[in-house]
Amino acid sequence: MPTAKISALGCFVPPGILTNDDLSKMVETNDAWIVERTGIRERHIATKEIATSDMAVAAAREALGQRGIEASELDAIIVCTVTPDMLFPSTACLVQNRLGAVGAWGFDLVAACSGFLYGLTTGAHLVSAGTHRKVLVIGADTMSRIIDYTDRGTCILFGDGAGAFLIEPSENPAEGFIGHISEIDGSGAQFLNMPAGGSRLPASAETVAKRLHYVKQEGQQVFKFAVRKMYELCDNLLKKHGLKPSDVKLLIPHQANKRIISATAERLGLPPEKVVLNLDKYGNTTAATIPLATRDAIADGRLKKGDLVLFAAVGAGYTAGASLWRWAY
Ligand code: UT7
């Protein structure tokens, strides 16, 4: 059985920026509250011509360019998103066509903020099964399209962006994918969701008037679950592989709230220099946070070949997961 490794990475964020001060002109909030309660200072927002597949394609092209391969060499494309261009066809199909990834198959994966992590796990298993040699996992979300900019509890949190990892077999069994723990708990569905637009509540004048096509969240409920689960899964995963938190070079968590990340790091006993935080610049980009944070860690010289890296995420569903990798480039 081959080991799966991450061999390239690409990212895209739209250039437009929405700052905390901008938001304070739209809803009753202020920079000091947002920074203290979330750690977020600004987020990138796509102009109306840009949809999720556009950002996904840009991130994918960067990853393919970095690895120096053609899209036609891809075996599969997984697009992790809760903001597909449309409900069907899948965004993976649109991306495959735009890239010219002839012969690839693929699908969209809906796991909200844990989406990229679940995509990584799926991609790693496709490769380590020996049936796929090049799997592109893309996390892309245009959250600004489903955010209610009159709701100060949610509009301060989210931004737009995309990131992609290429997963391939490794010649070296000591590098690449080590293992994961993933869990879903649908009892949390009521606390974070977008109520309308599906088969339960199809679009109607009423759903629009009631603003049901936007993200609804009970922030404190999600916060409490995230703080507990992120630590629990990281700790369990390390123990499962006979590792200690001190063995980890970097924790790259989903970027939802600085306080969730700090609480997780503290309980694991990880010092701040071992934890990647970049939500001040991007906010919560849902499926794109982990690749964006990984890119920044590489750019800052904090993530190098051979490092043990722990990814972790919690999100709507509830969905949650942790994934351990030995960085391979
Ligand atoms: O990726 C997974 C998805 N989501 C998350 O992980 C988010 C998890 N939750 C959170 O990050 C936090 O719950 C929030 C950042 C959403 C909210 O922070 P909080 O510390 O839980 O605030 P709260 O909802 O308990 O509200 C505290 C106070 C309230 O006022 P009162 O009732 O104490 O007078 C709110 O009305 O802060 C008020 N408030 C605000 N004030 C200024 C809520 N939002 C704002 C705001 N600006 N934007």
Atom of ligand 1 nearest to the CA of 257: 11
Same domain, 198 and 291: yes
The pTM for the full model equals 0.97
| CATH number, domain containing residue 56 | 3.40.47.10
Which residues span the domain enclosing 272? Answer: 176-326
Q: What is residue 61's three-state secondary structure?
A: helix
The residue to mutate among 23, 158, 220, having the most atoms of ligand 1 within 8 angstroms of its beta carbon, is: 220
Same domain, 227 and 130: no
Alpha carbon dihedral 98, 319, 3, 6, in 10-degree steps, equals 50
Q: What are the residues whose beta carbons fall under 8 Å from the beta carbon of 120, sequence distance 6 or more? A: 137, 165, 167, 180, 290, 311, 323
Q: Beta strands of the chain (E only): which ranges?
A: 3-12, 17-19, 42-44, 76-80, 105-109, 135-142, 160-170, 176-184, 192-193, 216-217, 250-253, 308-315, 319-326
Class of residue 152 by CB neighbours under 10 A (exposed 0-12, middle 13-18, buried 19+): middle
What phi and psi values does residue 54 have, to the nearest 5 degrees?
-65, -45
Same domain, 193 and 265: yes
Question: Domain tally for the chain?
Answer: 2
Task: State the distance from the centre of ligand 1 to the C-alpha of 218, rounded, in angstroms.
Answer: 9
> How far from each other are the two terminal CA atoms of the chain, in whole angstroms?
21
Residue range 103-126, pLDDT digits in tens: 999 999 999 999 999 999 999 999
- pLDDT tens across the length of the chain (329 residues): 889 999 999 999 999 999 999 999 999 999 999 999 999 999 999 999 999 999 999 999 999 999 999 999 999 999 999 999 999 999 999 999 999 999 999 999 999 999 999 999 999 999 999 999 999 999 999 999 999 999 999 999 999 999 999 999 998 989 999 999 999 999 999 999 999 999 999 999 999 999 999 999 999 999 999 999 999 999 999 999 999 999 999 999 999 999 999 999 999 999 999 999 999 999 999 999 999 999 999 999 999 999 999 999 999 999 999 999 999 99
